[in-house]
Amino acid sequence: MTTLTQALDAWVPAAARRLDGVRAEPRFEFVGRIVSVGDGIARVSGLPETRADELLLFPGGVAGLAVDLDGEIGCILLGEDRHLSAGAPVHGTGAVVRVPVGDALMGRVLDPLGQPLDEGAPVAAERFEPVERPAPSIADRAAVTEPLLTGTAIIDALFPLGRGQRELLIGDRAVGKTSIAVDAILNQRDGDVFCVYAAIGQKASGVREVIEAVRRGGALGRTLFVVAPADAPPGLQWLAPYTAFTMAEHFRDSGRHALVIVDDLTKHAAVHRQLSLLLRRPPGREAYPGDVFCLHSRLLERAAKLSPARGGGSLTALPIAETQAGNLSAYIPTNLISITDGQVYLDAKLFHEGQKPAVDVGRSVSRVGGKAQPPELRALAEPLRLQYAQFLELEVFTRFGGMVDEKTRAAVAHGQRMRALLAQRHSNPQPLALQVAQLTALSDGTLDRLPVEAVPRFRSALAALLETRPDPDLKALMREAAAGLGGS
């Protein structure tokens, strides 16, 4: 008993000294209750001061985003809901969702809340920015005139992409959309463009393949991955593209250049539809809510080329969308086509015929055009699209086996070499010098003297020669590459 008394006598003065240093102040805490929860959404009551897009805290550290404020608060949960139940307390924060930004994020794999998924060190953020940010105003923008080369010859030549542009990659499932996006990332490995890849609802194995392809291509240090796979909560999948844009805007707003790839917005729209129906919002066409156009327009409008007064940085967007049986007139594809500055359409029939990349020249377009194309490439590419379209029509005509004159036969032969030249393997982006050399060989008739099957070998020989000649004479290189392949 004496020992206990002595211990209490020693503890009480020490506790009193600790309490003396604490300033007791009143603090307001807003606490509500869960009314119902399930399938990634929750309904909350008792928080009348909650604002739109406010972050709410649920038991177990699960966050929620307040999106409906009509009576009961409708929340999108940004975590698992299996441990939540009706009656549990919910705390208002008065804050919005913010994610880390900064150069230190390059090379990392993060979830849409900025938490690492790559088992690396904790994220070193320069600061935290809200995921919902307004797009730059018209006065803060400049014209899109600087090229952003994707390394895919048919796109850089016929549908050039400019810094600050929004170009849609669209086509059926498994026709090479992600492959073109990965090649665009690899083509920036030695440049000044930082890349952000957002995976929405993709299989974990597919995301892993993309990360490994970027790693093998040597572009991992200039790429950030925001991943919300198919087994992630719907709220995280919904948040992923906004997080990716916020992280990329760090580079744009500091006068640098960034490329955002969103793979894909069709799945994002499906998640939005799912959450909206669970929140009992009125459905519209194809059961999508009425705000589905605003959902993507407010996202893609954040891609821009800033004026010199704002630093001259740029944010380029390459969103991906999936069609069903090539139907470009479906609801989400038509929405995205109307929002973006052009589209590259990949045709499943061309893909299965072995034409890769399977770009449909007739249904693809870039509304920026040659304004954002390197001059040396623009001069060679101007006649290409018309020639290629004419070749496709003539080829169909000649398949009927009718009599064709010499001029038509020559046009078809030239087109076959053009198609062989524009074919390209995945993870093999072509530098500008090689693209210019190839198109020069096409325009001056060098390829017309080669068999069609020799065109890939000619391109490989030309690429090898270009690597060893710092200031090449293109005509001499073409003669050397054609030697031994059947050309004169």
**How far, in Å, CA of 313 to CA of 241, rounded?**
20
For residue 346, give both structure tokens.
């990949």
Q: Which residues are marked as active site?
A: 367
Copy the structure tokens of residue 16: 């009193």
Using CA atoms, how far apart are residues 18 and 6, in angstroms rounded to an integer?
19
Q: How is residue 285 written in tokens?
A: 């066409």
CA dist 288 and 239 (Å) reads 18
Phi/psi for 5 (5° steps) reads -65, -40
**Could you tell me which residues are beta bridge partners of residue 169?**
320, 344
d(CA 428, CA 346): 18
Element (H, E) at 186: helix 177-186
> Cα dist. 430→130, 180, 435, 466 in Å?
37, 12, 7, 12
Per-residue CA distances from 393 to 157, 404, 408, 411, 445 (Å): 20, 13, 11, 11, 21
Q: At 10, which helix (H) or strand (E)?
A: helix 2-20
Q: How many residues in total does the chain contain?
A: 488
Rounded distance between C-alpha atoms, residue 56 and residue 235, angstroms: 13
CA 160 to chain centre: 17
Q: Is 218 helix (H, G, I), strand (E, B) or coil?
A: coil
Asked if 424 and 438 touch (Cβ cutoff 8 Å), the reply is no
Long-range contacts formed by 203-209: CB under 8 A, 24+ apart: 203/229, 203/230, 204/229, 204/230, 204/231, 206/178
Helix (H) / strand (E) element for 85: namely none
**Neighbour tally for 402: CB within 10 Å:** 7
Q: How far is CA 7 from the centre of its chain?
A: 64
Q: Beginning with the edge strand found earlier in the chain, give each strand of the sheet holding 168-171 in spatial order.
A: 109-110, 223-228, 193-200, 257-263, 314-322, 168-171, 342-346, 365-366
